Structure 1
Amino acid sequence: MRHTISVLVENKFGVLARVSGMFSGRGFNIDSLNVAPTHDAALSRITAVLKGDDTALDLCIKQLRKLINVVDVADYKDGQAVLREMILAKVKADASSRSEILQISDIFRAKIVHAASHEVIVELTGDEGKVAAFLRMLEPFGIIELARTGQLALTR
């Protein structure tokens, strides 16, 4: 089962290693891991999407709460949080396909952030379904390179 976990931690050296070590030590496979400072530079938010069973997750959350540098832990159930992911996709775009790529980008409210003679870089933010649908639409043109942030989450 997939779980989205948000861990608010002190922004200190080694905290990420301890938190991710806790996940792997409990047998979770990390699908995505995103870490960045919050509006308070002393704190960082770790958002992790994990695969594992509910019993192990409960134990893992209890163990996380015991770590010194952990301020708060939240397990987001379906509908409890806003989840978003950002991608940058470099796509082949010659003169004949460029307008179609622009139309697809408009439909998905994606932005062209760089254009060159034979390729474009497109930025898209959305939920997992939107990102997957957008990538399926771009595949026929040829995705040269792809970068993804992994999921970010905030409680509703």
Structure 2
Amino acid sequence: MAQEVLDDTDLGIIYMLQQNAREIPTSDIADEVGVSAGTVRNRIQRLEDRNIIKGYVPEIDYENAGFELHVLFTCTTETQPSDEFVEEILEQHGVVTVRKLLAGDQNLHVEAIGTGTKDVSEIANNLQECGLDINRSEVLEQEFVQPFNHFGKRITDDE
């Protein structure tokens, strides 16, 4: 079955939601993309049903929440990790993200949050006990995020 293509309205809605999904009213999105608020609500529901929009996740300032260390581990597993294995890693204390890589010896990136060096050492030990070889660990100083601009920026900017 062919995958349904996103039209300009869908792209504009996704772009606007990426800016701040919690705060932006559907009426503002509707004004930006040139449709009614009801159409926006229906389109959002359809995008969720199609699993294009999978959820709405708050952006957490871990340091302000008392978790001073944000660490990125580059790891290796002997084989390409299964989804079940990744779920096991995600269940470990402090782990917030796991990224499977397609190629190369280092095939997993694990992002973890800790309160201090003792906590991060415990997280690293837990990862090794799960069967990961940690090739590198780096403390993240600051992260900058930008919404994927191909999702409707030109539509909302009236270009």
Q: Normalising TM by the smaller chain, what interval?
A: 0.3 to 0.5
Q: Which has the larger radius of gyration?
A: 2
Identify the structure with bigger relative contact order (alpha carbons < 8 Å, sequence gap 6+).
Answer: 2
Task: Considering fraction of residues, name the structure with more strand.
Answer: 1
TM-score (norm 2): 0.40
